[in-house]
């Protein structure tokens, strides 16, 4: 079975078993996704590169990061399940669009936004 499909079904079952559909409108799920993403971000606030590298090692910090990643993933899967988005298709479409915006020969090793690239006409 497709992993994303399996995980989406697990999230759906989890939520339906708790009668949570009523709380999962698109706005609420987008807020949840943003909130959980910000909780992940907050773990790194005011941390030096050395401190962040240390956080990536096995231990309590890494476990907390893992939990926040899972929360973000949960809301992403739930949003896609509730509103019929195929995450694989979404990602592949976006990669195709980004390949046009960020040609390899112009961006390799650079972190420029596509609007900063010099385009040949």
Listing DSSP states for 2-29 in one string gives -HHHHHHHHHHHHHHHTT-GGG--HHHH
Long-range contact list for 40-45, CB < 8 A, 24+ apart?
A: 40/65, 40/68, 40/69, 40/71, 40/72, 43/68
Give residue-wise pLDDT tens across range 76-117: 999 999 999 999 999 999 999 999 999 999 999 999 899 888
Residues 79 and 93 in one domain: no
**Contact predicate 55/43, CB 8 Å:** yes
Task: Looking at the structure, tell me whether residues 74 and 91 fall in a common domain.
Answer: no
Residues 25 and 40 in one domain: yes
Residue 121, pLDDT > 60, answer no
What's 54's domain CATH number? 1.10.287.1080
Q: What phi and psi, each to the nearest 5 degrees, are found at residue 102?
A: -125, 75
pLDDT confidence bin for 119, thresholds 50/70/90: low
Domain boundaries, position 67: 3-85
pTM: 0.89
């Amino acid at each position: 079975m497709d992993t994303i499909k399996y995980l989406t079904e697990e999230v759906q079952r989890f939520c339906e078993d708790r009668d949570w559909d009523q709380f999962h409108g698109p706005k609420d799920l987008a807020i949840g996704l943003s909130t959980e993403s910000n909780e992940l971000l907050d773990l790194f606030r005011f941390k030096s590169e050395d401190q962040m590298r240390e956080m990536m090692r096995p231990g309590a910090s890494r476990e907390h990061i893992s939990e926040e990643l899972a929360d973000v993933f949960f809301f992403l899967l739930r949003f896609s399940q509730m509103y019929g988005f195929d995450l694989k298709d979404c990602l592949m479409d976006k990669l195709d669009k980004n390949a046009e915006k960020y040609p390899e020969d112009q961006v390799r090793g650079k972190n420029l936004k596509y609007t900063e690239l010099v385009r040949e006409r």
